[in-house]
Amino acid sequence: MDSMDSIQEFQKFLYDKTLDGRRINVLALVGAGLSAPSGVIPSNIGDTDGDNVWRNYSFIDLATLDAFDSNPALVWLYYALKRHQALKAEPNEGHKVLAQLSNLNDKFNLLTISQNMDGLHHRSGHNREKLLEFHGSLFNVKCTNFMCYYSKYTLKDPLTDSLDATKYEDSENTQLPTINSLDQLPLCPECLSNGEKYLLRPGVIWFGESLPLYLIDQADEFIIENDIDLLLVIGTSHTVWPTSSYIDVIKNNGGYIAVFNIVEDSEIDKIKETSNTKVWNFIGDCSITLPKVFNSFINS
């Protein structure tokens, strides 16, 4: 079956499922492949140089709680750079299509589980009540005081004068700013108002930290309460957890799968070959394939 036949068959599936005012229940699993066309550095540490190194620091040096405790200035300089780079990128057409689907309430009952931290879902207009950011967000900050629950989503750049990434984003020709005081880093305003000084930290999930249980619970509740008709695998693969677990759950519950990625996923292809699960593969740039497949449905 050629790609155009696959698109037509998939669109017929969507139309048939939404006849007579019905809604299609959809779970979307999103990875770095969706943001790649926007020019965003992938969500894992160190991908700037392709060898897990940034200025001779490995991801272990930068993305753990121990690293933050021992050198918060270095960790904040790195994440300030990632925030700055993400803000320079724009949501691509793939983000926009997924956002439209999240707001297409008369036809779609969608929940998106994203592994991306770049904030592009929010900036594309994705319904926030239908978005679970499993790895956190570069634009969330939270207090390190265990007795304080301060948390905020902010696009402010830079967060402090010392974290102005424009002064050191050229890693080959500039030195990192010198930070000698905690006062030069983001501090919790609530603790300051109480006469205490506690750092804010990036609101991302570091290595060694567990995924928030409340997010996993929300995902599980959505699957349990809805008979999932369709699983969208966008820019991620069966080899990435928790993508793999949700793929198997939807398959076992009789849902169909549509893959949007630059390469075919051999593990998902095995599902197609060994079960009755229908699998569509739309191979290519997600910012192109998602609009090509969904635009006519969205506009119908």
d(CA 191, CA 2): 60
Binding residues for Zn(2+): 143, 148, 188, 191
Q: What is the per-residue pLDDT for 161?
A: 97
Enclosing domain of residue 123: 3-298
- CA distances (Å), 239 to each of 83, 191, 244, in order? 27, 42, 6
Q: What is the per-residue pLDDT for 41?
A: 65
d(CA 108, CA 298): 10
Residues with Cβ within 8 Å of 123's Cβ and at least 6 positions away in sequence, in order, are 90, 91, 95
pLDDT digits (tens), the chain, 300 positions: 447 789 999 999 999 999 988 999 999 999 999 999 998 765 444 343 345 688 889 888 899 999 999 999 999 999 999 999 999 999 999 999 999 999 999 999 999 999 999 999 999 999 999 999 999 999 999 999 999 999 999 999 999 999 999 999 987 678 999 999 999 999 999 999 999 999 999 999 999 999 999 999 999 999 999 999 999 999 998 887 777 789 889 988 999 999 999 988 888 888 887 788 899 999 999 999 999 999 999 998
Q: What is the per-residue pLDDT for 17?
A: 94
pTM of the model: 0.92
Strands (E), the chain: 24-30, 53-54, 57-58, 108-114, 131-133, 136-143, 151-153, 200-204, 230-234, 256-261, 279-283
Binding residues: 143, 148, 188, 191
Q: Going by DSSP bridges, is the β-strand pair 131-133/136-143 parallel, antiparallel, or unpaired?
A: unpaired
Positions marked catalytic? 135
What is the CATH classification number for the domain harbouring 156?
3.40.50.1220
Q: Provide the domain count of the chain.
A: 1
Distance of CA 62 to the CA centre of its chain: 19
